[in-house]
Structure 1
Amino acid sequence: MTRQILILTAASGSALLLAGAYLFQFLGYLPCQMCLWQRWPHMAAIAIGVLAFTLPLRVWAWLGALATAITSGIGVFHTGVERDWWEGPSSCSGSGGSSLTGDLLSTDGPRLIMCDQVSWELFSLSMASWNALFSALLCILWIMAARRA
């Protein structure tokens, strides 16, 4: 595979993962705070992919690898929070920390989605787990692109 095809495949992979996240959100699976954190590096990887085509410098591929490694790492951390391997941010796991104020029975205002609750899974892997896995594969593609002459 050429460097351009690897970059196109990796950036497109981030676009597909991001589209999938928004599709699940449209279907009613609201994202938690850590789910939202996982989206930002994918957005960066897409932008990096565009820049890699306009300014063909090797550094862009390394930055794409970094972006997908970051989202994969957040996905691993999120998976650990969901499986009670470690504690997550107090603002979106456990009791919700001190951010839950006011009348808890009120239906007004935004709904707090807890980061330690799995809302969907396939083959015992949550969305965060799938993101971690696929993002790691995308990171490998970015590294392959960076190492091409």
Structure 2
Amino acid sequence: MSRHLLILAAAGGSLALLLAAFGFQHLGGLAPCQMCLWQRWPHAAAVVIGAVALILPGRALPLLGAAAAMTTAGIGLYHTGVERDWWQGPTTCSSGPIGDLTPQQLMEQIMAAPLVRCDDVPWELFGLSMASWNALVSVALALLWLMAARRV
């Protein structure tokens, strides 16, 4: 595969994942949580990097694209762990221990909680959540970026 085709495949993969996320949100009615939104930014960066990398030669941009793909893969893996209760997620979008809260403090915590929690799995395919799929596909995209970087 040529460098340009690898870049198109990698950036196109990020674009496809972004479009799928927006489709689930706007057509499927699945509102994203905070961590879902975090996973979108590196994909957007990868699309822009891909457009520029098609014009400019060198290894720097494909390596930057690989870094973007691995960043969203890392966030997706972290999000998967939060969803599966492997570790605690951010308190801004996950449920946590109630502790010694007064009824008033508990009510304030409930009212301040976001509508979409990061530790819920609203959709899954073959036992994997959207965050899990994002992590897996993003690692594959990072490999494409790395292959493009080798073909300078």
Question: Residue 118 of structure 2 corresponds to which residue in structure 1?
Answer: 115
Q: SS of 1:54's equivalent?
A: coil
Q: Does 1:58 align with 2:59?
A: yes
User: Does the 8 Å CA contact 2:92/2:114 hold for their aligned counterparts?
Assistant: no
Q: Distance in 1 between matches of 2:109 and 2:72?
A: 33
> 1:133 is aligned with what amino acid?
L
TM-score by length of 1: 0.90
Kindly state the Cα deviation for residue 96 of structure 1 after the two structures are TM-superposed. Answer: 9.7
Match 1:129 to one of 126, 129, 132:
132
> 2:40 is aligned with what amino acid?
R
Q: SS of 2:116's equivalent?
A: coil
User: Does the 8 Å CA contact 1:65/1:142 hold for their aligned counterparts?
Assistant: yes
Alignment of 1:1-16 (within 5 A): 1-16=1-16
Give identity over the alignment, percent.
57
Q: Show structure 1 runs of 5+ residues with no match.
A: 105-109
Question: Residue 101 of structure 2 corresponds to which residue in structure 1?
Answer: none
User: Does the 8 Å CA contact 2:35/2:118 hold for their aligned counterparts?
Assistant: yes
CA RMSD of aligned residues (A): 2.0
> 1:144 is aligned with what amino acid?
M
Q: Show structure 2 runs of 5+ residues with no match.
A: 99-104
Q: Distance in 2 between matches of 1:30 and 1:96?
A: 24
User: Does the 8 Å CA contact 1:79/1:128 hold for their aligned counterparts?
Assistant: yes
Question: Residue 70 of structure 2 corresponds to which residue in structure 1?
Answer: 69
TM-score by length of 2: 0.88
Aligned residues: 143
1:11-32: per-residue Cα shift (whole Å, max 9, x none)?
Answer: 0000000000000001110000
User: Does the 8 Å CA contact 2:63/2:149 hold for their aligned counterparts?
Assistant: yes
Larger of the two Rg values belongs to structure: 2
Q: Distance in 2 between matches of 1:31 and 1:101?
A: 23
